[in-house]
Amino acid sequence: MNYIKYEQRGFVGIITIDRQNALNALNTEVMSELEQLLDTISIENTRCVVITGAGEKSFVAGADIGEMSTLSKEEGKGFGKKGNDAFRKIEIFPIPIIAAVNGFALGGGCELAMACDIRIASENAVFAQPEVSLGITAGFGGTQRLARIIGLGKAKELLYTGSKIKADEALRLGLVNAVYPQEQLLEECIKLAEKIAQNAPIAVRATKKAINAGMQVDMDTAIGIEAELFGSCFDTKDQRNAMGAFVEKRKPEPFENK
């Protein structure tokens, strides 16, 4: 792959978008490589993923404006679908994905971060959906996910104005979970990923599935989804071992993902 790097640290996978000469902007090739990489990650060996951008300036500065500038209406729809397909794959990926936002997260970069389960920012992070200043709408889910994360009124303000917000404002709005100095960001995200990875992997995957599915339906349907996934966990070795250890007042064995 030309633009996507992958590293495995124990049960944690680290994806780095490495197109520094363009501030890690998303072109068709980057998005294709990202999808291809996700298809190769084994949930047997990986329990959480961190995604970040190469360098200290930018997580992802947006979609590639050079590529978009000459697109026709149909080509524009196709480019939007390419981004939406890649980000939806992140959103519904079986295991949690943490965005380590190191610098600019503009347009498609903000949308990529929002497709992740958790967002952690460096102090120099800047977020925006500036598409209206370029004559387009947000096209990779920004008009949908931003409102779901920070609320309708503030999302409309940011989407209509294209205004940039810094890390501290993103934290106040709930767009990110925490802010760290640049030099600590990745290790703090890995530390969080490792904490997630210590728990029963099947239960974590079921929790993500329950949240994602439940947010799209009414409450009665949602708790039915939760009940099914809750029940399914009782068919696992990890549940029996962990609950047995609790009852017997002993330390449980490491989770086996079974």
If asked whether residues 106 and 165 sit together in one domain, one would say: yes
- What is the tens place of the pLDDT at every residue in 114-165? 999 999 999 999 999 999 999 999 999 999 999 999 999 999 999 999 999 9
If asked whether residues 170 and 235 sit together in one domain, one would say: no
Point out the residues of the chain with pLDDT beneath 50: none
Q: What is the pLDDT of residue 43?
A: 94
DSSP 3-state of 13 = strand
If asked whether residues 38 and 87 sit together in one domain, one would say: yes
Is 22 inside any structural domain?
yes
Q: Is 194 a catalytic residue?
A: no
Is 231 inside any structural domain?
yes
Q: What is the pLDDT of residue 129?
A: 98
CATH of the domain at 78: 3.90.226.10
Structural domains of the chain, count: 2
Angle 255-256-258 from CA coordinates, rounded to 5°: 115
If asked whether residues 219 and 179 sit together in one domain, one would say: no
- State the Cα torsion 112-115-119-125 to the nearest 10°: 20
Tell if the pTM clears 0.85, that is, is over it.
yes
- What is the tens place of the pLDDT at every residue in 175-190? 999 999 999 999 999 9
Is 223 inside any structural domain?
yes
If asked whether residues 26 and 72 sit together in one domain, one would say: yes
Backbone angles phi, psi at 228, to 5 degrees: -65, -45
Catalytic residue selected from 7, 44, 75, 111? 111
If asked whether residues 20 and 55 sit together in one domain, one would say: yes
Range(s) of the domain holding residue 188: 4-197
Q: Is 131 a catalytic residue?
A: yes
Is 166 inside any structural domain?
yes
Closest to 112 measured CA to CA, from 139, 137, 87: 87
Catalytic residue selected from 91, 131, 169, 256? 131
If asked whether residues 181 and 208 sit together in one domain, one would say: no
Is 30 inside any structural domain?
yes
Is 257 inside any structural domain?
no
Tokens read off for 9: 């640290």
**Do the Cβ atoms of 162 and 131 come closer than 8 Å?**
yes
Q: What is the pLDDT of residue 27?
A: 96
